[in-house]
Amino acid sequence: MIAKPGFQAWAAQNLLTRSISRREGADIFNLVQGFAHSQTLLAVVELRLLHHLYEAPATPSDLARLSDMKEPSMALLLQAAAALRLVKRQTGGRYALARKGAALLGVPGLEQMILHNRLLYRDLEDPVAFLRGETAPEVAAFWPYVFGKGAAIDPKATQAFSRLMADSQTLLAQEILSTISLKGVKSLLDVAGGSGVFLSLALRQYPDLRADLFDLPPVIDTAGARLGAFPGRVHFHPGDFRNDPLPTGADAVCLIRVLFDHQDDTVRALLRKVHDALPPNGRLIIAEPMSGGNRPDPATDVYFAFYTKAMGTGRTRSADEIMALCREVGFRGLRNPATRRTYVTSVVTGFR
């Protein structure tokens, strides 16, 4: 009945239903224009308008000169950005940084991720062809390490994805450490830990903690500068978890933004290796964006689900799916503690 135009016209006029009808109409239009929102945001970030306005309010003419753009086009962009509450209008035709725009500047790695999303946007240009597997996603080419043994990894590509991971992982690491405690953990192994962002925060927060970092040789080379601040507390283990055994001796292992890069068979094999590497009662920590499962999440079941599909090898799983895979290989005491921001990460913990 709701799908019938006549019912919608009646609902828009009826005193009891018109507020619901208008709200749902606005929600539907926001879905229709969502791509224009994301492209407005991309232009604002690429032109560094928020940085310019952080320094001082400016007119469209001022910002047009800085951006090599005609004033009418800049005025259009600023008006759109104001509608999205990234900037705000002031008297005298000037624009200033709005609270949402300031918050965006304060999130580590967010601007880099917005710029990176150009790849995903192009991959989704024809969503039906994308879903049918008829395209060659650019996102997959950006993350060559997921293809495993024999995949050629360009050093420049390694630097690019290591930098993006590092830039975006600070907020993630903070979310994890505010959700779980590492009290009592003596040694933590970070599998596929990249440039060591999470370990650096964990080591700083827990002065008695020792750590091991395991990742591909070209990736692990990027971690030395950051983790060099903790002499004697970190050991580096270059390797590929698909083909090499994991280091033993740690009483906790973390997998941060790892599982959703890979298909179930790879995940199952990795979890089995983690289980074998841990001592009895050793702790497992998994953190990544997770599907809402029976309660679909607007961030993880849209953005991250499409992103992991574009990678070509992974998928966004629910906490229940992840815990089921963990049980298969022998983990127990599995929990899914609530995080403050599921669009940043969710967490699953368990014990051998």
**The one-letter amino acid at 181:** S
- Both 341 and 212 in one domain: the answer is yes
* Pick from 173-187, 220-234, 329-343: least confident: 220-234
Measured CA to CA, the distance from residue 271 to residue 331 in angstroms comes to 9
- Per-residue pLDDT tens for 196-211? 999 999 999 999 999 9
pLDDT beyond 80 at 134: yes
- The whole domain housing 99 covers 33-105
CATH code (residue 40): 1.10.10.10
Domain assignment present for residue 15? The answer is no
Determine the pLDDT at residue 7. 39
Determine the pLDDT at residue 236. 93
- Both 68 and 90 in one domain: the answer is yes
Domain assignment present for residue 213? The answer is yes
Domain assignment present for residue 23? The answer is no
User: What spatial distance separates the first Cα and last Cα of the chain, rounded to whole Å?
Assistant: 53
Measured CA to CA, the distance from residue 37 to residue 251 in angstroms comes to 46
- Both 179 and 280 in one domain: the answer is yes
Domain assignment present for residue 266? The answer is yes
Domain assignment present for residue 60? The answer is yes
- Both 89 and 181 in one domain: the answer is no
Q: How far is CA 125 from CA 103, 121, 140, 151, 311, in A?
A: 29, 6, 15, 27, 16
Domain assignment present for residue 8? The answer is no
What is the DSSP secondary structure assignment for residue 301, as one 8-state letter? Answer: I
Q: Considering 58, 88, 105, which residue would you say is the last residue of a domain? A: 105
- Both 93 and 119 in one domain: the answer is no
Measured CA to CA, the distance from residue 345 to residue 257 in angstroms comes to 9
Domain assignment present for residue 19? The answer is no
Question: Cβ contacts of residue 128 below 8 Å, gap of 6+?
Answer: none
180: confidence class by pLDDT, cuts 50, 70, 90: very high
86: confidence class by pLDDT, cuts 50, 70, 90: very high
* Pick from 132-146, 255-269, 296-310: least confident: 132-146
CATH code (residue 279): 3.40.50.150
- Both 87 and 51 in one domain: the answer is yes
- Closest of 133, 137, 112 to residue 123, by C-alpha: 137
Q: Mean pLDDT across the stretch 19-44? A: 84
Q: Considering 55, 86, 105, which residue would you say is the last residue of a domain? A: 105
More confident residue, 171 or 47: 47
Determine the pLDDT at residue 10. 40
- Both 119 and 94 in one domain: the answer is no
Determine the pLDDT at residue 186. 96
Q: Considering 105, 134, 158, which residue would you say is the last residue of a domain? A: 105
119 φψ region: left (φ > 0), alpha (ψ -120 to 50), beta (else)? alpha
Measured CA to CA, the distance from residue 153 to residue 144 in angstroms comes to 6
Domain assignment present for residue 269? The answer is yes
Tally of domains within the chain: 2
The pTM score is 0.84
- Both 191 and 310 in one domain: the answer is yes
